C-alpha cells in the first residue's frame, strides 16, 4: 500500500508539472509570439529547452520553501507526509487545469502554496503563518514591481534603440533581444516553478531534490508541448497589441523580477510578473490600448487561486482520511 501511495503521489506531482507547462508556458515567449517575432512552434521549443535548464540548475532553491517552509512536511510520519503531498498536488493540479481550459494565466505558485496550507489545516499540523504572510506580500509586489520595471525598461530602450542605434539595425537587434529575453524568462520560470510540482515530494522524503527537479522539468515540457498554446494566445495577443519593443521590455522586466525572488527561495508567480510587465509597457501608450475586461478576469482568477486550491486540498485530505479510517 505504501509503495502504491508513493507511486500515485509521484504521478500527481508529474500531473502538476504538466499543468504548469500547459498554463505557464505563455509567460516566457507568449509576448514574442504576440509581436510576430517567433512562430508558436519555435517559441515552444525554446521554452522547453530553457525552462528545463532553469528547473534543473536552480529549481532546488524554491523547492525547499514549498517542501518545508509552509508546513513541516519533513517532520510528519512518512505515510501522513505522502498523503499531504498527494492531496496538495491534486488540489493544485485541478484548479490549474480548469484555468488553462479557460485560457486564464493563473499562478501555479499560488495554487500549490494554497493547497499545501489547506492540507496542513486538514490534519492539524502547524502552518507557518509568518512564512505564508511573507509569500503573500511578495505576491502583491510581483506584478507591481514587474509593471514598474517594464515601464522603465521601455522608456530606456526606446531612447537607446531609436536615437543611438542606426535605424537599419534596429529591427534585427530587437528580434535578437526579444528571443534572448524570452529564453531568460523561460529559465527563471523553470527555476521558480518546478518546485510547484515537486517541492512537496522533496519535503515528504519521497524524492531526492535533483531527481524531483528532473522529473518535474520533464513533466513541464510535456505540458508545454501538449496544451501550452492555449494561454500563449491570451498573453501574446489578447491583453494588448504588443509592438516588438514592448515585448522585449515586458520579457526582460518579468525575468529580472522573478529571478530576484528565485535567488531568495520565494515562490512567486511568473504569470503575475509577465502580466504586470505587459501592463507596465502598455501604460506607456495609454490605458486605452489594454484589454481591461481580460485584465479583470485574470485578477479574479488570481485572487481565487490559493483559496480554491486550498479548499480542494483540505476537503480531499479529510475525505481520504475518513476512507482510510473506515477501511
The whole-number pLDDT of residue 27 equals: 66
C-alpha cell at 178: 526579444
- Would you state the cell numbers that stand for residue 88, as one nine-digit string? 496538495
DSSP-derived 3-state class of residue 290: strand
Report which DSSP code applies to 65: I
* pTM (two decimals): 0.79
Q: Give the pLDDT score at 238.
A: 55
Q: What is the pLDDT of residue 67?
A: 63
Residues 247, 154: Cα–Cα separation, whole Å: 9
**Can you tell me the distance from the alpha carbon of 286 to that of 216, in angstroms, rounded to the nearest whole number?**
40
- Give residue 310's pLDDT: 93
* Cα distances (Å, whole numbers) of residue 252 to 46, 186, 219, 255: 16, 11, 26, 5
Three-state DSSP at 164 gives helix
Q: Which three cell numbers stand for residue 169?
A: 539595425
Rounded to whole angstroms, the Cα distance separating 169 from 58 reads: 35
Q: Return the pLDDT at 1.
A: 44
Residues 13, 197 contacting (CB under 8 angstroms): yes
Predicted local confidence at residue 202, as pLDDT: 79
Domain boundaries, the chain: 2-326
Q: Which grid coordinates are listed for 133?
A: 504572510
Cα(165)–Cα(172) distance, integer angstroms = 11
DSSP lists the bridge partners of residue 240 as 290
Taking the mean position of all CA atoms in its chain, how far away is CA 229?
15
- Is the CA virtual torsion 293, 298, 302, 305 positive or negative? positive
Which residues are 290's β-sheet partners? 240
Q: What is the pLDDT along the chain (327 residues), one digit of tens a residue?
A: 478 888 888 898 888 888 888 877 666 777 777 777 888 788 888 988 998 888 888 877 676 667 667 888 878 888 888 889 899 999 999 988 888 888 777 777 788 889 999 999 999 888 888 888 888 888 889 999 999 999 999 999 998 888 888 888 888 999 999 899 989 988 988 888 877 777 788 778 888 877 887 888 888 888 888 887 666 666 655 555 667 888 889 889 999 999 998 888 888 888 788 888 888 888 877 656 566 777 777 778 788 889 999 999 999 999 998 888 764
Burial class (CB in 10 A: 0-12, 13-18, 19+), 196: buried
What whole-number distance in Å separates Cα of residue 186 and Cα of residue 209? Answer: 20
CA–CA distance, 196 with 180 (Å, rounded to integer): 25
Amino acid at each position: 500500500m505504501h509503495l502504491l501511495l508513493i507511486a500515485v503521489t509521484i504521478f500527481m506531482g508529474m500531473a502538476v508539472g504538466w499543468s504548469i507547462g500547459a498554463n505557464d508556458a505563455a509567460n516566457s515567449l507568449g509576448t514574442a509570439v504576440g509581436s510576430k517575432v517567433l512562430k508558436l512552434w519555435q517559441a515552444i521549443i525554446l521554452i522547453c529547452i530553457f525552462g528545463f535548464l532553469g528547473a534543473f540548475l536552480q529549481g532546488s532553491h524554491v523547492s525547499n520553501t514549498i517542501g518545508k517552509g509552509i508546513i513541516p512536511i519533513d517532520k510528519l510520519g512518512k505515510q501522513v507526509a505522502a498523503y499531504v503531498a498527494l492531496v496538495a498536488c491534486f488540489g493544485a493540479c485541478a484548479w490549474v487545469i480548469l484555468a488553462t481550459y479557460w485560457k486564464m494565466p493563473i499562478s501555479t505558485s499560488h495554487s500549490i502554496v494554497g493547497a499545501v496550507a489547506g492540507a496542513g489545516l486538514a490534519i492539524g499540523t502547524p502552518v507557518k503563518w509568518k512564512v505564508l504572510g511573507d509569500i503573500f506580500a511578495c505576491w502583491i509586489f510581483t506584478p507591481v514591481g514587474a509593471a514598474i520595471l517594464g515601464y522603465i525598461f521601455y522608456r530606456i530602450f526606446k531612447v537607446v534603440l531609436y536615437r543611438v542605434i542606426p535605424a537599419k539595425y534596429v529591427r534585427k537587434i530587437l528580434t535578437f533581444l526579444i528571443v534572448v529575453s524570452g529564453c531568460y524568462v523561460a529559465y527563471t520560470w523553470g527555476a521558480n516553478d518546478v518546485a510547484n510540482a515537486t517541492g512537496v515530494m522533496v519535503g515528504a522524503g519521497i524524492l531526492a531534490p535533483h531527481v524531483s527537479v528532473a522529473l518535474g522539468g520533464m513533466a513541464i515540457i510535456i505540458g508545454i508541448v501538449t496544451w501550452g498554446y492555449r494561454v500563449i494566445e491570451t498573453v501574446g495577443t489578447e491583453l494588448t497589441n504588443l509592438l516588438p519593443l514592448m515585448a522585449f521590455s515586458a520579457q526582460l522586466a518579468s525575468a529580472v523580477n522573478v529571478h530576484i525572488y528565485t535567488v531568495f527561495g520565494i515562490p512567486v508567480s511568473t504569470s503575475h510578473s509577465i502580466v504586470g510587465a505587459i501592463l507596465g509597457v502598455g501604460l506607456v501608450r495609454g490605458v486605452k490600448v489594454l484589454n481591461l475586461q481580460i485584465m479583470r478576469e485574470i485578477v479574479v482568477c488570481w485572487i481565487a487561486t490559493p483559496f480554491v486550491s486550498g479548499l480542494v486540498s483540505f476537503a480531499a485530505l479529510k475525505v481520504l482520511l475518513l476512507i482510510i479510517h473506515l477501511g
